[in-house]
Amino acid sequence: MNLIFRLIWIIIESFFRKRLHPLAESVLHLRVLPNDLDLNMHMNNGRFLSIMDLGRIDLMIRTDLGKAVLKKRWKPLVGAVTMRYKLSLMPLQKYRLHTKVIGWDEKWLYIEQRFERRNRTISVGLVKVLFRGSKKNITPVETLKAIHVNIDPPELPEKVKRWLSMEVQ
């Protein structure tokens, strides 16, 4: 994580923002900084992935999962990411990062993360995550139980099913 100052800011800010239900959407308001740029003078494609970490951290803290993760010493792990880049983000432009859990199966949580500017989609990422305990992976049901939530998973969107069908076995 090479976004240490933004990370610290997001963590502090998250404690003062409204708590979220695990299926609610987190929205971060951000700006393209000079160290986000590549040689083409737009936000680097790898930077999108790093900033997505911030969105997941905000969601984790605001759903109170962050407390459970620290207490139980779980480690969040990303199993896969797929990205679609539609438009560029230029220096100093403001944008929003939307982060939302869109479903889960017996092992993985699936998160959609969208970058938007002026209500236009800039890029969309699908992320497959789980938490790892000291000896085993933590199931999504156990993860939700840690924050006293017992809900059935929403049906996985078709785009997630298509993505999963293309994975290397």
Which CATH number is 53's domain given?
A: 3.10.129.10
Question: For residues 101 and 128, what is the distance between their CA atoms, to the nearest angstrom?
Answer: 10
pLDDT of residue 154 exceeding 80, the answer is: yes
User: What is the reported pLDDT for 74?
Assistant: 97
pLDDT value of position 50: 96
d(CA 43, CA 67): 32
Residue type, 63: T
Q: Supply the mean pLDDT for the chain.
A: 95
Q: How confident is the model at residue 166 (pLDDT cuts 50, 70, 90)?
A: confident
Q: Which whole number is the average pLDDT over 36-63?
A: 96
The mean pLDDT value for 22-45 works out to: 96
Q: How many C-beta atoms surround the C-beta of residue 161 within 10 A?
A: 11
Q: Under DSSP, is residue 92 helix (H, G, I), strand (E, B) or coil?
A: coil
- Give the model's pLDDT for residue 169: 63
Single-letter amino acid code for the residue at 21 = H
> CA 157 → CA 79, 135, 161, distances in Å?
18, 31, 7
**In the chain, what percentage of residues exceed pLDDT 90?**
94
What b-and-e string marks burial along 82-116, b requiring 16 or more CB atoms within 10 Å of the CB? Answer: eeeeeeebeeeeebbbbbbbbbbeeebbbbbbbbb
Per the structure, the count of domains in the chain is 1
Whether pLDDT at 1 is above 60: no
Q: What is the pLDDT of residue 99?
A: 98
Q: What is the pLDDT of residues 71-100, one digit of tens each?
A: 999 999 999 999 999 999 999 999 999 999
Residue with tokens 């939307």: 98
**Global pTM value:** 0.93
The pLDDT of 44-56, averaged and rounded, is: 96
CB atoms within 10 A of CB 135: 5
**Domain carrying residue 27:** 4-165
pLDDT for residue 167: 77
